[in-house]
Structure 1
Amino acid sequence: MSRSHAIAIIGCGTAGLAAALLLERAGHIVTLVERFSEPQPLGSGLILQPSGLAVLDALGLAAPLIAAGSRIDRLFGLNAVTGSVVLDVRYAALKRERFGVGIHRAALFEMLFTAVQRQPIAIETGVEIVDVEAGGDGKASLLAASGHRIGPFDLVVDASGTRSALLGHAVRPVVSVPLSYGALWANVPLGETGFDRHALEQRYRRASVMVGVLPIGRHGAEPEPQAALFWSLKTDALEAWRSVGLAAWKDEVERTWPATAPLLAQIADPEQLSFASYRHQTLPQPVGRRLAFIGDAAHSTSPQLGQGANMALLDAHALAVALDDTADLDAALSRYAELRRWHIRLYQAASRMFTPFYQSDSAVLPLIRDKVVPPLARLPGIDRMLALLVAGLVGNPLRRLGLKEPAIAGESDRPALTGEGVER
């Protein structure tokens, strides 16, 4: 790279924090801007796939996150009524050893945020950005809700999510379709339950009812491994769920999957549950004038393929690569969009195709799913393709970005979250 740029990054989520680390390490002057007075994680648990772990490994953070989380070797789901297998994806189908890592969102956030705090990265909190203004000198300034300006900067990186206030500045209009189904999430101790500590397990009734258990390891001072328990719920049914009460909901979950009873016993207050809504959202070109969109601000899908945080990490790395390729910002932004275009399109198309079979009101699609998926998954090569899809590796995005998968196998029960190892 022949030039250092002054860069503002909006949002302290996974995409924003990773971009801050990668861009500062490349020699840029980075300022993080966060709307909350104290940066904090949102959500319950997620799976770090081999694609996302490759970016974290480049930052020196993969090993401690693997130690904090729970190794995931399999995604497994049954029809709650018939007991038939409707989802069975194993990382072992791939040629080399690969796995996912179930992780508490707070653990991922704290690792990244601690690493950011150790670098000369300015952080401005309690600032809600409502617009960006381009100056005559080619630079851009941020306009806060309070009316004051921050900047100027050579480049603004929008990592503020699907409801970003800056989407109108993209080269082409955003395409956004809210999904009817969201999910309730809660973190609970796994205890002495019989759940597989190395699998995401789910149960379905048709496609309208889904309950899942994802082991997510330990976080902070938690004395034992945790799990993220989630339940599908239509967005317009949230108020009715609150009115009916917690006990009625717990009864319904337990009827669907009796083994969840000891997990449900740990939920005594509705405040332990958070609701997440989802949407298919795409920026055909994730760039604007002196502006790059990364993570959910550029693209989002349903969580069925578990790619959200992993795609955000790949975006952050792609932007750093593009800026390193050329000092010309317009050329770098075009390069960033090119580096991510096909991988994003592929996974958004896959999400649109698969989601209705597992989360929708359709009566026909789950019947097709239950009849077709089990024999199809046993065909030679199909098991590997499904594993590649879940691992985030279809289309070989790592080679395109010059990334290598971490040469790390196994799992440790150590709950260490040190943030050590960020290379400069």
Structure 2
Amino acid sequence: MGRAQSWRGARCAERFRRRRDLTHRYQERRLDLPIALKDCPAWARRFGGNGQISGHRERFDEPKPVGSGLILQPTGLTVLADLGLLDDILALGSRIDRLHGADAKTGRTVLDVRYDAQRRSRFGLAVHRAALFGVLFGAVRREAIAIETGVELETLETGERATLICGNGRRIGPFDLVVDASGSRSRLRQRVQNPGELRPLAYGAFWASLGWRGDGFDEHALLQRYDRASVMIGVLPIGRPEPGAEKMAAFFWSLKPADAEQVRATGLDAWKARLVRLWPECEAFTRQLDSFDQLSLARYGHHTLKVPAGRRWAIIGDAAHSTSPQLGQGANMALLDAAALNYALIGTDRVDTALEVYVRARRWHVRVFQALSLMLTPFYQSDSTVMPFVRDRLVASVAKIPPAPNILASMVAGTMIDPFRRIGIKEAQWPLRCGG
């Protein structure tokens, strides 16, 4: 035990020394780095600590989280550990050890993935978006980073420096670098060469954040029920949105956004009755729903920028690559982008060189997981009858045969391709216990 503690202490000291030396190199000059922010205050926190950010611009009247629950994979948790925020988020979230899905009619297991199949002690952490936002935003405020709200950014002009243009014609800048973290419907993205179009996916989901009810559910698992690929019901324990709050669950039902009005017209009671017929234990959650107003409709799209950077600006998160949440990588990809851009800028004196390093560092990890998401989503969300048949009979059987469990675990964890080495960070040391 003493040796292990000494070894870990030495590793922490070495990592701190390396980051300190790099930071001192970079602090010799100051860059003005505004952030068009939607879903990645992690980048503001990271560079605010180095005294580099002039501020960030937020479209809403006040910064706030958007969405329900998500799973922080070992990738995203490693970035939070590198920021010194791992303990804060562990105190709020719910540790997830496995993902389990079954056919709603037969009870046949069709998905069973354990994080520790690839590497012992790995896990995911399910969190309310408010918890992740609160941890990151609290760190941003502690760094006294300026935040300007109610700003509707329209485009930007780039040259020797970059200037943001607002919808009302106001000009903000100039800046050394603009970071676009404004989400999948980014307007700024249209300025990049070959931006492509966001392709809407046929299926989205109704979701709600509800009080956690443990009877018949595992607090350390994402549980799902399927009826072919046209119906997917999910219950994800997401811990607490803030310290002292009650434990919650993200509850979701997949459907086509085009069918949402028809479902509403049929009535809440009819929809709840159908859901309970497929998964009786879910009545513990459906009885918390009194109105469709408690349900949000999520719409998904697929889009990948070939080069998530331009002259004097970088694109991270969903603005650079968005897809179905089937693999649960979205927030984790954004955190990895933020870390990659941070270390690229720290490691060189030239912004254009740093952007090239950032693009290279993230290229293959993003492309592989975007392709996997596009390929696998129809097995769980589509009108196909063939794909769920293959999923239930063939894939479910093959998934039990080594090395399939390891491969599935690496897909879910986000580590099928090592995302850490090119960025310059090492995977976190995982605690044995966590969760709020």
Give your verdict on TM over 0.5: yes
Shift of 1:353: 1.1
C-alpha spacing 1:180/1:222, structure 2 compared with 1 (3 Å): farther
2: CA distance between counterparts of 1:274 and 1:57?
Answer: 31
1:86 aligns with 2:110: yes
Secondary structure class of the residue paired with 2:60? coil
Pick from 346, 350, 371 the counterpart of residue 393 of structure 2.
Answer: 371
In structure 1, give the amino acid aligned to 2:359: A
Instruction: Work out the CA distance in 2 between the residues paired with 1:301 and 1:284.
Output: 15
Deviation at 1:410, TM superposition (A): 3.7
Q: Match for 2:299: what amino acid?
A: S
Shift of 1:224: 3.4
Structure with the bigger RCO (C-alpha within 8 Å, sep 6+) is 1
**Cross-structure match for 2:134:** 110
Instruction: State the SS of the aligned residue for 2:425.
Output: coil
C-alpha spacing 1:221/1:67, structure 2 compared with 1 (3 Å): closer
Whole-angstrom distance in 1 between the partners of 2:420 and 2:250: 28
Q: State the Cα distance separating 1:151 from its structure 2 match.
A: 1.0
Q: Determine the structure 2 residue equivalent to 1:399.
A: 421
Instruction: Give the alignment's TM-score, normalised by structure 1.
Output: 0.94
Structure 1 match to 2:33: 7
SS of equivalent residue, structure 1 residue 116: helix
Counterpart residue number, 2:19: none
- For residue 105 of structure 1, report the CA deviation from its aligned partner: 0.5
Q: Distance in 2 between matches of 1:216 and 1:29?
A: 32
Give distance in 2, aligned partners of 1:180 and 1:331: 39
User: Which residue of the partner structure matches residue 97 of structure 1?
Assistant: 121
Contact 2:92 2:242 in 1 (8 A): no
C-alpha distance in structure 2 between counterparts of 1:241 and 1:11, whole Å: 34
- CA distance in structure 2 between the partners assigned to 1:246 and 1:88 by the alignment: 31
Aligned residues: 410
1:43 is aligned with what amino acid? G
> Equivalents in 2 of 1:248, 1:143: separation in Å?
48
Q: 8 Å contact 1:181–1:234 — kept in the other structure?
A: yes
Q: How does 1:151-190 map to 2 (within 5 A)?
A: 151-190=173-212
Give the letter aligned to residue 31 of structure 2: H
Q: What's the counterpart of residue 52 of structure 2?
A: 28
* TM-fit CA distance, 1:321: 1.1
Give the Å deviation of 1:110. 0.9
TM-score, scaled relative to structure 2: 0.91
In the alignment, which residue of structure 2 is the partner of 1:421? none
Query: In 2, distance between residues paired with 1:191 and 1:284?
Result: 43
Distance in 2, matches of 1:368 and 1:191, equals: 33
- Equivalent in the alignment of 1:355: 377
Give distance in 1, aligned partners of 2:410 and 2:213. Answer: 31
Aligned counterpart for 2:153 among listed residues 112, 129, 135? 129
Q: 1:86 to 1:362 in 2, by over 3 A?
A: same
Q: How do 1:291-306 and structure 2 match up within 5 A?
A: 291-306=313-328
CA deviation after TM superposition for structure 1 residue 412, in Å: 4.5
Q: 1:223 to 1:152 in 2, by over 3 A?
A: closer
8 Å CA contact 1:12–1:32 kept in 2: the answer is no
Shift of 1:31: 1.1
Pair 1:69 & 2:93 matched: yes
Mapped to 1, the partners of 2:386 and 2:157 lie a distance apart of: 50
Please report the RMSD computed on the Cα atoms of aligned residues, expressed in angstroms.
1.4
1:154-205 CA distance string (max 9 Å, x none): 1010000111111221132224211000011111112342200000000000
Tell me, what secondary structure is at the counterpart of 1:400? coil
SS of 2:61's equivalent?
coil
**CA–CA distance in structure 2, aligned partners of residues 371 and 377 of structure 1:** 11
CA–CA distance in structure 2, aligned partners of residues 177 and 384 of structure 1: 31
Partner letter of residue 356 of structure 2? Answer: S
Percent of matched pairs sharing the same residue: 53
Measured after TM superposition, the shift of residue 223 of structure 1 is 5.0
**Residues 1:331 and 2:353 are matched in the alignment:** yes
Cα–Cα, structure 1 residues 385 and 30, in superposed 2: closer, same or farther, change >3 Å?
farther
**Corresponding residue of 2:223:** 201
Equivalent AA in structure 1 for residue 316 of structure 2: I
Q: Verify the 8 A CA contact 1:190 1:226 in the aligned structure 2.
A: yes
Q: Is the 8 A contact 1:133 1:141 kept in 2?
A: yes
